[in-house]
Amino acid sequence: MTSHVLSQLRSLEAESIHIIREVVAEMQRPVLLFSGGKDSIVMLHLAAKAFAPARIPFPIMHVDTGLNFQTVLDCRDRWVERLGIQLVVASVPDAIDRGLVQEEPNGSRNRIQTPVLLEAMEKNGFDAAFGGGRRDEEKARAKERVFSFRDDFGQWDPKNQRPEIWSLYNGRVHQGESIRVFPLSNWTELDIWSYIAAEDIDLPDLYLAQEREVVDRGGMLFAVNEFTPLKDGETSEVRSVRYRTVGDANLTAAVASEAATLHEIVEEIAAVRITERGATRGDDKVSEAAMEDRKREGYF
Q: How far apart are CA 187 and CA 215, in angstroms?
A: 32
Q: What is the pLDDT of residues 5-36, one digit of tens each?
A: 779 999 999 999 999 999 999 999 999 999 99
For the domain made up of 8-191+288-297, the CATH class stated in words is: alpha beta
Q: What is the pLDDT of residues 188-206, one digit of tens each?
A: 999 999 999 999 999 999 9
Least Cα distance to 248 among 62, 38, 39, 64 occurs for: 64
Q: How far apart are CA 8 and CA 256, in angstroms?
A: 29
Q: Where are the domains of the chain?
A: 8-191+288-297, 204-271
Q: What is the model's pLDDT at position 207?
A: 96
Q: How far apart are CA 203 and CA 257, in angstroms?
A: 17
| 245 CB-contact burial (10 Å; exposed 0-12 / middle 13-18 / buried 19+) | buried
The share of the chain scoring above pLDDT 90, in percent, equals: 65
User: Degrees (nearest 5) of the Cα angle 133, 136, 137?
Assistant: 55
Q: 189-199 and 262-271 are packed helices; what angle lies between their axes, rounded to 10 degrees?
A: 160
pLDDT band at 296 (very low <50, low <70, confident <90, very high): low
Given a contact cutoff of 8 angstroms between Cβ atoms, the answer to whether 114 and 298 are in contact is yes
Q: What is the pLDDT of residues 37-89, one digit of tens each?
A: 999 999 999 999 999 999 999 999 999 999 999 999 999 999 999 999 999 99
Q: Which residues contact 37 (CB under 8 A, 6 or more apart)?
A: 72, 132, 204, 245, 246, 247
Q: What DSSP element (H or E) covers 96?
A: helix 92-98
DSSP 53-89: TSPPSS-EEEEE-S---HHHHHHHHHHHHHHT--EEE
Q: How far apart are CA 178 and CA 226, in angstroms?
A: 37
Least Cα distance to 249 among 232, 225, 284 occurs for: 225
Q: What is the pLDDT of residues 224-246, one digit of tens each?
A: 988 899 999 999 999 999 999 98
The model's pTM is: 0.88
* DSSP tally for the chain: helices H, then strands E: 10, 10
Buried b (16+ CB within 10 A) or exposed e, 210-227: eebebbeeeebbbbbeeb
Given a contact cutoff of 8 angstroms between Cβ atoms, the answer to whether 262 and 200 are in contact is yes
